[in-house]
Amino acid sequence: MSSSTSARTDDPPAVVLTGITKRFPGVVANSDVHLTVRRGEVHALCGENGAGKSTLMKILYGMQAPDEGTIEVNGEQVRFRTPSDAIKAGIGMVHQHFMLADNLTVQENVVLGAEALHGIGQKARRRIIELSGRTGLNVDPGVLVEQLGVADRQRVEILKVLYRGAKVIILDEPTAVLVPQEVNELFDTVRGMQEQGYTFLFISHKLDEVRAIADSVTVIRRGTTVGSADPRTVSSRQLAEMMVGSELPSPETRESTVTDKVVLDVKGVRLLTPDGARPILEDVDLVVRSGEVVGIAGVEGNGQTELVETIMGMRKAGSGTISLLGRDLTKLGTLARREAGIGYVPEDRHRHGLLLTQPLWYNRILGHQTRRPAAKGIWLDTDGAKKDTERIVADFDVRTPGIDVPAAALSGGNQQKLVVGRELSGDPVLLIASHPTRGVDVGAQALIWDEIKRARAAGLAVLLISADLDELIGLSDTIKVMLRGRLVADADPNTVTPEDLGSAMTGAGSTSAAVHETVAVEEGEN
Amino acid sequence: MISTLEEKPHVPAVPRKRKVPGWAVAMLGVAGAIVLLSITSYQTGFPQLTSSGTTQTAVRLALPILLAGLGGLWAERAGVVNIGLEGMMIMGTWGAAWAGYQWGPWAALVAAVVFGSLGGLLHAIATVTFGVNHIVSGVAINLLGAGLTKYLSTLIFLPLSNNPRQSPPVQSFDTFSVAGLGDWLGELEAGQRLFISDVAGILRGLVTGVSPLTMIAILLLPLSYYLLWRTRFGLRLRSVGENPHAADSLGVKVYFHKYVAVIVSGGLAGLGGAALVLNPGQLSYLEGQTGGRGYIGLAAMIFGNWRPGGLLGGAALFGYADGLQLRSGGETVLALVYGVVILLGVIVVWQLIRRRWFSAAAAIVVAVLLYLLYISLDEIPGEFVSYAPHMVTLAVLAVASQRLRMPAADGVVYRRG
């Protein structure tokens, strides 16, 4: 899959990092990192979220100084104090989160900070047009960046780097924001530029992509490099095991723990769009029993989000009842429902799960502000909350320098572990987990799976919504397929394949005995 | 002169691909505004609406607003909200009076700029270095400006003028007029012909009694535009207001540019204060003299969509509203209501063409209400008239604020790292 290596072995390597160590208060972000990037290759750096990839790249780009270790560029030892030193040495960085000013034009964004090269006028414009071709960017430099799509913004970022004369380009998680077709276009651009002699450092934890584009791979785990691999011979699973440092987890559950005790009983729930024009949920009946994981499969936008929000009381159902352990919750608010024993892992942890600017212990209180240990009577119990946050950090392996750092300082996986830990506190009887492992690394994924399995064995009822069909099939005791606001089919997780589920989700009808339709799907309805 | 108010009908709903260049829109707006005023003055029988006297007063009153707004433009383009313009302006008035009565008007200008800049420096230290919330720091500077000048006035002006609230008189600038042109325009204006007399009146007001400060202020506008939009320094300054993290990653000194912008902002606001002190009608420092013009300047800048051209339109609009009420009182302000009704009529037609029924209906309702107000009253009560500029500010911002685009990182405290 990878293009032929154009690296010449007789030249000194483009970049050599030796024994890099970087400490922050409370954590060691990098320890004794070794990395060699040959000239003209695409070198991938793989690791879980929070493994220290970004810190390492910030060091290479001069944004942070290493505590120990040396950097060599083209055989010469260098010392970067600021990014401009790195730029002078021919190193450029395309950040994961675009560093663009939306309200400025493409040209202004590109020349900013490098005005000395070609000014900010016509000369710069000509140079930008000249370089645009190499990145596949096909817009006028006078266009505002806010009018560009994500793929073009990324091209502007690459253009910025080229304009400054970079020969070594760091791409930090470049595909995280792209759709598959754009990823292919990006790879075409990278290969084209590789042929023109550019060197790429490609940071990613998406292993299929790494194997598709890289000439060599270095794996980083817990802040240190653990080895390198040849992407042509290594499998994604082997790479993943290098990243995690152990055998990969699987979501598989072993024996059934389902009991007869009905925990959640949803009957005939209907929900209309806010303008009342169209139903989002129609006659949804759903039962989740103690010790059971009920998975809901469905293409996004078919009512799963709304179903969860209706059960949580964030939306008011038009008709139907929702009861928990026989108690009617239909008229209660969200807080009362949580107090009745529902834990909720929201699908978007940044919008609904956490206050990013607040410390971890503060986030622990959210949703538990009326219950022990976060509250005593009408007062908040901050000591209790802090103590319990320490427990979550320890039990759920939340990697953090302390419980007083803001939630934003944690990587996505660690944020999610905190949310799951919080929602499993206070002995809930039902857990609603929406995409519980979306956007988290393999290690965090395994931990979250284990915790859900353990809680299930202890009698927790779980309603699981996930777009990851392997996760859904592996964890669930029962799978229901949701299409256009209805639960249209049941599937048996022991026998169903992701392909079967996929066709049921799109309404193509059942293709397997493992999926049996419960509602006739009306064709032609929009 | 109320150019930007007229801009609305000319800019398409999605101003992404503007086919008509900005200056043409502005010219159309100015022309439209003059036509509107001349029709209004003809229909209502108030030639004061476009008289040279009104225009002259409007220019004098627009100057402080323009300068304060320009100050706001500098700070906010660098991402620092400067609600402290009022306080810096107050410091400017005191500085102008203190230097002005001793060493003349040019010294007054210099001192005003220095005092205003000190206010700006304080704001920069608080917001940029210590990361204080911009609004909190700005309000503190407003309080400080008022308190400090009160103290200094009691200390220094009281022995001289026997009044702790007023400075000794300040020497004014010599004003000059374009000699031949003024008389000729005066004849035209006196002719009372529709449109021609109105244009002549406005032009005469613009070329009569011009002070060097007016020239400076008018020149500062294109100068600011050139510096901020056409130079490397300006690009860096604006990038800091749009995305400081991006700017920092490209080697732009974020703190330095913010400091420069806020200090310049204070200096301009101080100069606006000098424009108040050196106003021929007043010529001294008075406590409470600024009367919220710093805030109005900020409003003019917001109304002008953080652009110098729009800011000029906003300042002109507020200056005109202020000048009209000062010179002519309630009757003519009421005549202006009639003008607004006509303007709303134009907007209604435009919205109907664009098939925006709701906006059209809303405009019709407002127009009818205003027209009822116009025919039922003989004049607007005096207590109300003096608040005309503030009313205009409120109304204009309420209508205009929907399509405005502020710098993306405006008001956001930036921390390195």
pLDDT tens per residue across span A19-56 = 889 887 767 788 888 889 998 899 999 887 667 888 88
Which residues, other chains included, contact A520 with Cβ-Cβ below 8 Å and sequence gap of 6+? Answer: none
> Does some domain include residue A7?
no
Given A426, A442, A466, which residue is the final one in a domain?
A: A426
Residue A108 included in any domain: yes
Q: What percent of chain A has pLDDT over 90?
A: 14
Among A99, A101, A120, the residue with its CB nearest the CB of B232 is: A120
Most confident of A326-340, B128-142, B355-369: B128-142
Answer whether B408 sits within 8 Å of A102, measured CB to CB: yes
Cβ contact A68:A101 at 8 Å:
no
Which residues from chain B sit within 8 angstroms of residue A84, using beta carbons? 251
- Cα A282 to Cα A272, A303, A475: the distances in Å are 9, 9, 26
Interface residues on B facing A, Cβ-Cβ cutoff 8 A: 16, 230-232, 235-236, 238-239, 242-243, 245-247, 249-252, 405, 407-408
Q: How far is CA A464 from the centre of its chain?
A: 18
Q: Is the pLDDT of residue B84 over 90?
A: yes
Q: What would the mean pLDDT of A287-301 be, rounded to a whole number?
A: 87
Structure letter (DSSP) for residue A349: I
Q: How far is B181 from chain A (nearest CA, A)?
A: 40
> Which of residues 23 through 82 in chain A touch B, CB cutoff 8 A?
63, 82
Domain that holds residue A88: 15-244
Q: Which residue has the tokens 């169903």?
A: A496
Is the Cβ pair A82, B250 closer than 8 Å?
no
CA distance B107 to chain A (A): 37
Query: Which of A219-233, B130-144, B286-300 is the least confident region?
Result: A219-233
- Is residue A5's pLDDT more than 60? no
Find all residues with CB under 8 Å of A343, minimum gap 6, and list them: A423, A424, A425, A426, A428, A430, A431, A432
Q: A308 with A455, same domain?
A: yes
The region of weakest confidence among B135-149, B233-247, B274-288, B400-414 is B400-414
- Our CA-based measurement puts residue B258 at a distance from the nearest CA of chain A, in whole angstroms, of 16
Burial of A357 (0-12, 13-18, 19+ CB in 10 A): exposed
Judge contact between A304 and A433, C-beta under 8 A: no
Check the CA dihedral B188-B191-B194-B198 and report its sign: positive
CA separation for the pair B166, B153 (Å, rounded): 7
Residue whose token pair is 């006659």? A283
Cα–Cα distance, B331 to A179 (Å, whole number): 64
Nearest to A155 by CA among A174, A142, A168, A180: A174
Residue-level pLDDT at B15: 39
> Which residue among B235, B236, B251 places its CB closest to the CB of A82?
B251
Residue A305 to residue B265: CA distance in whole angstroms = 49
Q: Does A373 sit behind a cis peptide bond, omega within 30 degrees of 0 on the bond before it?
A: yes
CA distance B115 to B152: 13
Which of A98, A99, A120 shows the shortest C-beta gap to B235? Answer: A120
Confidence of residue B7 (pLDDT cuts 50, 70, 90): very low
Q: Is it the case that residue B2 has pLDDT exceeding 50?
A: no
Most trustworthy range by pLDDT among A495-499, B38-42, B72-76, B281-285:
B72-76
Residues A39, A89, single domain; the answer is yes
> Number of folded domains in chain A?
3
Write the pLDDT tens digit of every residue in B8-30: 333 333 334 455 677 788 888 88
Chain centroid, CA A36 distance in Å: 28
**Chain B contact probe: residue of A64, A87, A100, A104 with most B CBs at under 10 A:** A104
Domain match, A435 and A405 both: no
Residues A156 and A224 in one domain: yes
pLDDT at residue B233, rounded to an integer? 94
Please answer whether residues A19 and A34 qualify as being in contact, where contact means their C-beta atoms are separated by less than 8 angstroms.
yes
pLDDT band at A352 (very low <50, low <70, confident <90, very high): confident
Q: Taking CB atoms and an 8 Å limit, are A101 and B247 in contact across chains?
A: yes
C-alpha A233/C-alpha A211 separation (Å) is 9
Which chain B residue is nearest to residue A108, measuring alpha carbons? B235
Residue at A369: amino acid letter: Q
Tell if the CB–CB gap between B408 and A82 is shorter than 8 Å: no
Contact: B232, A63; criterion CB under 8 Å: no
- Please compute the mean of the pLDDT values over residues B236-265 and round it to a whole number: 92
What is the Cα–Cα distance from B398 to A156, expressed in whole angstroms?
Answer: 37
Which run of H or of E encompasses A433? strand A430-434
**How many other β-carbons are positioned within 10 Å of the β-carbon of residue B277?**
30
Phi, psi of A229, deg, nearest 5: -145, 160
The residue among B14, B232, B249, B410 with the most chain A CBs within 10 A of its CB, best to mutate, is: B249
Please tell me the number of Cα atoms within 13 Å of A449 on its side-chain side: 25
Among the ranges B6-10, B60-64, B261-265, B296-300, which has the highest mean pLDDT value?
B261-265
The DSSP 8-state label assigned to residue A76 in this structure reads E
Clarify whether residues A457 and A496 are in a common domain. Answer: yes
> Could you tell me the end-to-end alpha-carbon distance of chain A, in angstroms, rounded to an integer?
40
Do the bridges between strand A430-434 and strand A342-345 make them parallel or antiparallel, or are there none, so unpaired?
parallel
Angle at A427 between CA A423 and CA A428, to 5 degrees: 60
End position of a domain, from candidates A244, A275, A303: A244
- The pLDDT value recorded for residue B263 is 97
Gyration radius of chain A over CA positions: 26
Give the highest mean pLDDT range of A36-50, A100-114, A181-195: A100-114
Q: Say if A101 is an interface residue toward chain B (CB within 8 Å).
A: yes
Is pLDDT at A513 greater than 90 in this prediction?
A: no
Percent residues over pLDDT 70 in chain B: 93
Q: Looking at A244, A272, A305, which one is the last position of a domain?
A: A244
Give chain A's mean pLDDT.
Answer: 84
Q: Are residues A134 and A46 in the same domain?
A: yes
Of the ranges A233-237, A341-345, A369-373, A424-428, which one carries the lowest mean pLDDT score?
A233-237
Q: What is the dihedral of CA A491, A493, A498, A500, to 10 degrees?
A: -30
List of domains in chain B: 56-175+210-329+380-403 (1.10.3470.10)
For residue A90, being part of any structural domain is answered with yes
Residue A53 lies in a domain: yes
Q: Is residue A3 part of a domain?
A: no
pLDDT in the model for residue B183: 77
- Token pair 């900010």: residue: A120
Helix axes B52-77, B232-242, angle to 10 degrees: 70
Same domain, A62 and A140: yes
How large a percentage of chain A has pLDDT more than 70?
A: 91
Question: Would an 8 Å CB–CB cutoff place A409 in contact with chain B?
Answer: no
Adjacent-strand bridge partners of A77: A72
Contact A456, A259 (CB under 8 A): no
Task: Give the number of other Cβ atoms within 10 Å of residue B154's Cβ.
Answer: 13
Q: How far is A43 from chain B (nearest CA, A)?
A: 23
CATH of the domain at A224: 3.40.50.300
Which pLDDT belongs to residue A261? 87
B230 contact residues in A (CB cutoff 8 A): 120
Q: Domain for residue A1, yes or no?
A: no
Q: Do B236 and A109 touch (CB under 8 A)?
A: no
Same domain, A420 and A441: no
* Distance between CA atoms of residues A456 and A434, nearest Å: 16
**Chain A hits for B245, Cβ within 8 Å:** 99
Q: Three-state SS string across chain B, please?
A: CCHHHHHHHHCCCCCCCCCCCHHHHHHHHHHHHHHHHHHHHHHHCCHHHHCHHHHHHHHHHHHHHHHHHHHHHHHHHCCCCCCCHHHHHHHHHHHHHHHHHHHCHHHHHHHHHHHHHHHHHHHHHHHHHCCCCHHHHHHHHHHHHHHHHHHHHHHHHHHHHCCCCECCCCCCCCCECCHHHHHHHHHHHHCCCCCHHHHHHHHHHHHCCECHHHHHHHHHHHHHHHHHHHCHHHHHHHHHHHCHHHHHHCCCCHHHHHHHHHHHHHHHHHHHHHHHHCCCCCCCCECCCCCCHHHHHHHHHHHCCCCHHHHHHHHHHHHHHHHHHHHHCHHHHHHHHHHHHHHHHHHHHHHHHCCCHHHHHHHHHHHHHHHHHHHHCCCCCHHHHCCHHHHHHHHHHHHHHHHCCCCCCCCCCCCCC
Residues A164 and A283 in one domain: no
Q: What is the pLDDT of residue A345?
A: 92
Choose among A87, A95, A112: nearest Cβ to B236: A112
Judging contacts by C-beta atoms under 8 Å, the chain B residues touching residue A102 are 242-243, 408
Contact A165, A89 (CB under 8 A): no
Q: Which has the closest alpha carbon to B313: B28, B14, B21?
A: B28
Do A234 and A261 fall into the same domain? Answer: no
Provide the pLDDT confidence category of residue A524 given band limits of 50, 70 and 90. very low
CA distance B63 to B212: 12
Query: pLDDT-derived band of residue A461, with 50, 70 and 90 as boundaries?
Result: very high
Chain B residues whose beta carbon lies within 8 Å of the beta carbon of residue A100: 243, 246
**Neighbour-count burial for A61-82, b at 16+ CB within 10 Å, e otherwise:** bbbbebeebebbbbeeebebee
**Per-residue pLDDT at A249:** 63
Pairing of strands A375-376, A379-380: antiparallel
Of A156-170, A216-230, B92-106, the one with minimum mean pLDDT is A216-230
Q: Per residue in B181-214, pLDDT tens?
A: 777 787 777 777 777 888 888 888 888 878 889 9
Put simply, the answer to whether B249 touches A82 (Cβ < 8 Å) is: no
B242 neighbourhood in chain A, CB within 8 Å: 101-104
Half-sphere exposure of B86 (CA within 13 A, CB side): 23
Residue pair A420/A451 in contact (Cβ under 8 Å)? The answer is yes
Nearest to B250 among A113, A119, A147 (CB): A113
Measured from the Cβ of residue A250, the count of other Cβ atoms closer than 10 Å reads 11
- CB-hemisphere CA count at 13 Å for A322? 26
Asked if A304 and A175 sit in the same domain, the reply is no
Least confident of A130-144, A233-247, A281-295, B342-356: A233-247
Q: Is position A183 within any domain?
A: yes
Are residues A319 and A364 both part of a single domain? no
Element spanning A284, H or E: strand A279-289
**Tokens 């802090």 belong to which residue?**
A386
Separation between Cα atoms, residue A193 and residue A135, nearest integer Å:
8
Alpha carbon distance, N-terminus to C-terminus of chain B: 47
Strands of the sheet containing A76-78, edge to edge, are: A27-37, A15-24, A68-73, A76-78
Structure tokens belonging to residue A105: 């034009």
Q: Are strands A319-324 and A327-328 parallel, antiparallel or unpaired?
A: antiparallel
CB A201 within 8 A of CB A169: yes
Tell whether A415 is covered by a domain. yes
Q: What is the pLDDT of residue B72?
A: 96
- Containing A501, the helix (H) or strand (E) segment is helix A498-505
